[in-house]
Amino acid sequence: MDGNGRWATRRLLPRVAGHKVGVDSLRRCVRACAARGIAVLTVFAFSSENWNRPQDEVSGLMDLLAMALAREVPQLVKDGVQLHFVGEREGLSPSVRGGLAQGERATAHNTGLILNVCFNYGGRWDIAQAARRLAAAGTEINEDSLSQAMALGHVPDPDLVIRTGGEQRISNFMLWQSAYSELYFTDTLWPDFDEASLDQAIAAFAGRERRFGKTSAQVAGGEQRRPQAA
């Protein structure tokens, strides 16, 4: 969800004003994904590296998280959204941690869209914490066990990764899980990313050929469509 700061600066507003509108954009995106039958939406809200921002912006983001939780969770409960926070909790204040846990508890029995909010998250952190946990338990470390031990182990790998705001890099997001994801970059700033922007991204995704290491001829030959044994 990149581009909040620039959106605000262009309007001569403080950066935190952009983050506020970013929350509105997220609410819209969650509804749009649910309406389109998307099963899982994972958003990058605050990275392990974002602590290096000016202190007032960091505290503004923490306050905004608390406010957004208080305001949005009742509606998420009604809409059937199951909320998960993904990231290192230790570094967060007790009140923020309490808010995250409460939001998760309140939506735990929902069966609609799974919304993962990556907060104090980094892709490398996730790989390292998963490996550390497996090693401590004496479990063999392989691709399957690592995938399951990751903080994102409760959802399948993403089909599509969208980055708004014009940068064309991954910036430590879902490093392990995006191995075969389609990547989509748009100059649209996150606060401006609306239903039409989402539909454009989905249309681009639909036009891609996903080969998973196979040849184009194999994919066209229907190998992937072979019926699964019951």
Which residues are part of the catalytic machinery?
A: 2, 50
The count of chain residues that interact with ligand IPE, using the rule CB under 6 A, is: 12
Tell me the per-residue interface mask from 50 to 89 with ligand IPE, x by CB under 6 A, - otherwise: x----------x----------------------------
Distance CA(87)–CA(100), nearest Å, equals 11
Q: Which is nearer to ligand IPE, 19 or 84 (CB)?
A: 19
Q: Which of 129, 40, 132 is nearest to 91 (CA)?
A: 129
Q: Which is nearer to ligand IPE, 31 or 53 (CB)?
A: 53
Distance CA(205)–CA(103), nearest Å, equals 31
Binding ligand IPE (rule: CB under 6 A), the pick from 2, 72, 126, 182 is: 2
DSSP SS3 for 121: strand
Least distance in Å: CB of 5 to Mg ion? 6
**6 is in the binding site of which of Mg ion, ligand IPE, none (Cβ under 5 to 8 A by kind)?**
ligand IPE
Tell me the per-residue interface mask from 160 to 189 with ligand IPE, x by CB under 6 A, - otherwise: -----x------------------------
Residue 133 binding ligand IPE, by CB under 6 A: no
> Which residues ranging from 135 to 154 are in contact with ligand IPE (CB under 6 A)?
none
Least distance in Å: CB of 41 to ligand IPE? 16
> Which residues ranging from 5 to 44 are in contact with ligand IPE (CB under 6 A)?
5-6, 19, 22
- Contacts to Mg ion by CB under 5 A: 2
Q: Give contact residues for ligand IPE (rule: CB under 6 A).
A: 1-6, 19, 22, 46, 50, 61, 165
